[in-house]
Amino acid sequence: MLAIRLYVCALTAVFLVLVTMNRGVGILEGVVITCAIVYLILDARAELKERQADLHQLEELEQHLAVLLSD
């Protein structure tokens, strides 16, 4: 997943640099760049939710193990 994010970031940066050097940012370029940035934000948000769910499961497991080990 990190590789995909880095690839999209690199493509977006290269695209932005090439477009601004060539003729400036137009409507199409703005849409492409905006879509890439929105994708990255949503992907990072989904990853964060997944990590929070994993953390919650680990906390529950820790509680269960503490109960088992205290007996």
For residue 12, which of 44, 25, 45, 47 has the smallest C-alpha distance? 25
Overall domain count for the chain: 1
71 residues of the chain, pLDDT tens digit each: 678 777 877 888 888 888 878 777 778 877 888 888 888 888 889 889 999 999 999 999 999 999 998 87
Query: Residue 18's pLDDT is what?
Result: 82
- The pTM assigned to this predicted structure is 0.64
- The DSSP-derived string for 52-66 is HHHHHHHHHHHHHHH
Which residue range forms the structural domain that includes residue 63?
Answer: 2-70
Phi, psi torsion values for 23, nearest 5 degrees: -150, 0
- 33, 15 in Cβ contact below 8 A? yes
- Which helix (H) or strand (E) is 22 found in, with range? helix 2-22
